[in-house]
């Protein structure tokens, strides 16, 4: 028996428990287990650490189970991928998915899912829905009302009045800013902010920031973060960070765990809430951790001492970055004029590609204190095309473009913190 066969035999029972829990149909579960084993056999040589075999195997199973439910969703003509986009959290690259909305929708019937999708995500009027589904307008109104009430009953996050919110007020619209290339060389900087969250994971730190859709510049949500104390996860010391997200009269609260060392800043885990209101803690030992929070090889984190290294380069034809690997580098020095103040900054580019979604790029404009003056998110033109069904140049035709390795990237949204307001 070779090493792979031994590892598979030792971890077959946990794999079966995981898949059987996720997939209720016994025959479908057996098929998925076979698919996972086949994929693991083919890709085993790509696994760098045999000690991570269990997490790696469960990760494959997780993707197979997700594929199973996506296929089921297509039979109902409902894009659960699109629906899940409204449940948002922040990670290294800003917006990432949570499963709360998807899990809540799973409780509803097919008709309720369908009408919520058409009304909220396809932006169809009630009249258009009536024509599309060949049902009376009165039926559309009653079904939509019923679907919204059912969703509210099962959604775990509570609605509170605006008078009860304690969130700091940020501008509704992001003021105009100007970015100008400087002829000076980029300066070195110590950047200790947690990627995508702008807070330094150190006792006593807090920050608030707003997310602004482009090109309208209108705020689509605000975050308030505060380090609440020390924490130890699997023997690793870090801090606990309370995170509040506010949109209109809704406030969602959750927690992330992070660590700051002399050389790196990284996530240790996070807390999510399922459809029953139960908290789930995901840590760096869990298979699903890497997609949203993993940074660097073996989750070493984001380096804090930054200088221009030539990993990503600016040319006359656009940016040039490694083709099939993540990359992060300082590329250029810029003056940003914001609210009448001129900031001397360096541009830290964080670039990543996903096999199933495509590429994304974030620009951090950092001052000499290592604080973000501005943060901008760009998507490759076909990023998550299966989910949206459109190119980003079609969805945001007036947004700014970047060229990366010859491909078009489209400006999606910005973040700005209380540091500059």
Q: 335-363, pLDDT tens digit by residue?
A: 999 988 999 999 999 998 765 567 899 99
Among 74, 93, 122, which residue terminates a domain? 74
- Residue 80: pLDDT band with limits 50, 70, 90: very low
Taking the CB of residue 402, how many other CB atoms lie within 10 A of it? 17
What is the average pLDDT across 162-169? Answer: 57
User: Do residue 51 and residue 136 come from a single domain?
Assistant: no
Q: Are 96 and 290 in contact (CB under 8 A)?
A: no
- Pick the most confident of 17-31, 121-135, 236-250, 330-344: 330-344
Q: What is the pLDDT of residue 84?
A: 37
What is the average pLDDT across 87-95? Answer: 53
Q: Which residue has the tokens 């991928």?
A: 81
Q: Identify whether 233 is part of a domain.
A: yes
User: Do residue 262 and residue 188 come from a single domain?
Assistant: yes
Q: Identify whether 94 is part of a domain.
A: yes
Question: In whole angstroms, what is the distance from residue 49 CA to residue 275 CA?
Answer: 35
User: Do residue 122 and residue 51 come from a single domain?
Assistant: no
Q: Identify whether 372 is part of a domain.
A: yes
Q: What is the pLDDT of residue 103?
A: 59
* In the predicted structure, residue 211 carries a pLDDT above the cut 80: yes
Q: Identify whether 160 is part of a domain.
A: no
Q: What is the pLDDT of residue 90?
A: 53
Q: What is the pLDDT of residue 273?
A: 72
Mean pLDDT check: name the lowest of 72-76, 204-208, 263-267, 312-316: 72-76
User: Do residue 86 and residue 70 come from a single domain?
Assistant: no
Question: In whole angstroms, what is the distance from residue 320 CA to residue 189 CA?
Answer: 22
Mean pLDDT check: name the lowest of 4-18, 57-71, 272-286, 354-368: 272-286
| Range(s) of the domain holding residue 287 | 177-417
User: Do residue 392 and residue 244 come from a single domain?
Assistant: yes
User: Do residue 316 and residue 258 come from a single domain?
Assistant: yes
User: Do residue 90 and residue 70 come from a single domain?
Assistant: no
User: Do residue 269 and residue 345 come from a single domain?
Assistant: yes
Mean pLDDT, the chain, rounded, equals 83
Question: In whole angstroms, what is the distance from residue 113 CA to residue 148 CA?
Answer: 10
Question: In whole angstroms, what is the distance from residue 98 CA to residue 72 CA?
Answer: 19
Mean pLDDT check: name the lowest of 129-133, 209-213, 272-276, 286-290: 272-276
User: Do residue 320 and residue 211 come from a single domain?
Assistant: yes
Q: What is the pLDDT of residue 162?
A: 40
Q: Beta strand 305-306 with 318-320: parallel, antiparallel or unpaired?
A: unpaired
- Helix/strand/coil for 409: strand
Q: Is the dihedral of CA 232, 234, 240, 242 positive or negative?
A: negative
Query: pTM for the full model?
Result: 0.65
CA distances 105 to 29, 86, 91, 238, Å, are 22, 12, 24, 35
- Helix/strand/coil for 208: strand
Among 74, 89, 124, which residue terminates a domain? 74
Top pLDDT among 92 and 18 is at: 18
User: Do residue 211 and residue 120 come from a single domain?
Assistant: no
The CATH number of the domain holding residue 101 is 1.10.10.10
As for how many domains the chain has, the answer is: 3
User: Do residue 230 and residue 327 come from a single domain?
Assistant: yes
Q: Identify whether 14 is part of a domain.
A: yes
Among 88, 123, 154, which residue terminates a domain? 154
User: Do residue 250 and residue 371 come from a single domain?
Assistant: yes
- Pick the most confident of 82-86, 139-143, 373-377: 373-377
Q: Beta strand 279-283 with 264-273: parallel, antiparallel or unpaired?
A: antiparallel
Q: Identify whether 269 is part of a domain.
A: yes
* In the predicted structure, residue 305 carries a pLDDT above the cut 80: yes
Element (H, E) at 141: helix 137-154
């Amino acid at each position: 028996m070779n090493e792979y066969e031994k590892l598979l035999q030792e971890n077959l029972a946990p794999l079966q428990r995981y898949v059987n829990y996720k997939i209720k149909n016994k025959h479908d579960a057996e098929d998925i287990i076979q698919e996972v084993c086949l994929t693991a056999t083919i890709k085993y040589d790509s696994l760098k650490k045999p000690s991570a075999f269990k997490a790696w195997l469960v990760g494959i199973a997780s993707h197979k189970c997700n594929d199973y439910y996506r296929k089921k969703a297509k039979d109902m003509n409902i894009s659960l991928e699109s629906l899940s986009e409204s449940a948002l959290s922040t990670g290294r690259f800003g917006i990432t998915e949570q499963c709360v909305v998807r899990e809540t929708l799973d409780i509803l019937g097919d008709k309720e899912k369908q009408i919520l999708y058409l009304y909220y995500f396809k932006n169809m009027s009630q009249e258009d829905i009536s024509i599309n589904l060949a049902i009376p307008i009165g039926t559309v109104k009653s079904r939509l009302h019923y679907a919204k009430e059912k969703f509210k009953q099962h959604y775990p996050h509570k609605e509170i009045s605006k008078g009860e919110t304690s969130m700091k007020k940020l501008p509704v619209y992001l003021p105009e800013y100007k970015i100008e290339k400087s002829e000076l060389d980029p300066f070195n900087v110590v950047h200790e902010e947690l990627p995508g969250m702008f807070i330094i994971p150190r006792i006593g730190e807090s920050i608030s920031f707003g997310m602004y859709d482009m090109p309208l510049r209108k705020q689509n949500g605000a975050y308030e973060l505060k380090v609440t104390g020390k924490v130890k996860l699997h023997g690793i010391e870090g801090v606990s960070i309370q995170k509040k997200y506010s949109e209109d009269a809704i406030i969602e609260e959750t927690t992330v765990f992070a660590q700051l060392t002399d050389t790196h800043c990284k996530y240790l885990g996070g807390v999510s809430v399922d459809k029953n209101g139960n908290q789930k803690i995901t840590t760096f030992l869990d298979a699903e951790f890497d997609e949203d929070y993993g940074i660097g090889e073996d989750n070493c984190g984001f380096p804090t001492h930054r200088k221009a290294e030539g990993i990503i380069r600016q040319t006359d034809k656009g940016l040039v970055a490694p083709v099939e690997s993540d990359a992060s580098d300082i590329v250029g020095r810029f003056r940003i004029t914001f609210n009448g103040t001129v900031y001397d900054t360096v541009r830290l580019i964080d670039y990543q590609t996903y096999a199933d979604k495509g590429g994304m790029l974030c620009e951090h404009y950092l001052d000499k204190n290592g604080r973000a003056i501005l943060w901008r998110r760009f998507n490759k033109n076909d990023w998550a095309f299966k989910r949206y069904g459109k190119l980003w140049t079609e969805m945001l035709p007036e947004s700014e473009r970047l060229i990366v390795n010859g491909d078009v990237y489209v400006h999606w949204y910005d973040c700005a913190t209380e540091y500059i307001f």
